[in-house]
Amino acid sequence: MSKIGKQLIKLPVGVTAKITGDLVVITGFKGNLDRKLPHGFSVEEKDGFLTVKPQNNTFALSPNFGTTRALLNNMVLGVSTGWKKVLELVGAGYRAEISGKTLSLSVGYSHPVKFEAPDGISIKVEKMLLTIEGSDKEAVGQVAATIRGIRPPEPYKGKGIKYQDEVIRRKAGKAAKTAGGPA
């Protein structure tokens, strides 16, 4: 049995869960999310807590027990407080603009790169920072990874789009390698 899977999920004030068969719908301030449960699991709501229960204790269900509970907990946290990722633009002349739901990035290409934000995701631009917010943790992370993939940080000067807390391992350039070599 999973230690994570056995933990209860507390429903904050204003968050409700509706369970119909193998579909769980969580509704809160930031919207509503739904997820279909994997085969062999059920969810029970009791006294403001959700409990994930395997229908039988077979070894085949064990790997998904903690994952199922964690996904439901992420849904509860998403509709109550939301999820946020912050990206940073590093490079001379790099800039971002937002108009409606379209993000326009000038990151060293001959043309600006346009990115359309999906429903439920909001993008804010403040100087060299991009803030991506939403209620679905998976969607926020995927949008951040897609935007980072437009111009990932390079290891020599560190230019590119990176997560705010990301550390870029730097490499020595060609001049540093040949400085100690024979003439």
CA dist 91 and 43 (Å) reads: 48
Residue percentage of the chain with pLDDT more than 90: 78
pLDDT band of residue 176 (cuts 50, 70, 90) is low
CA dist 75 and 38 (Å) reads: 16
Tens digits of residue pLDDT in 32-61:
999 999 888 889 999 999 999 888 777 767
| Domains observed in the chain | 3-80 (3.90.930.12), 83-163 (3.90.930.12)
pTM: 0.87
Amino acid type, 1:
M
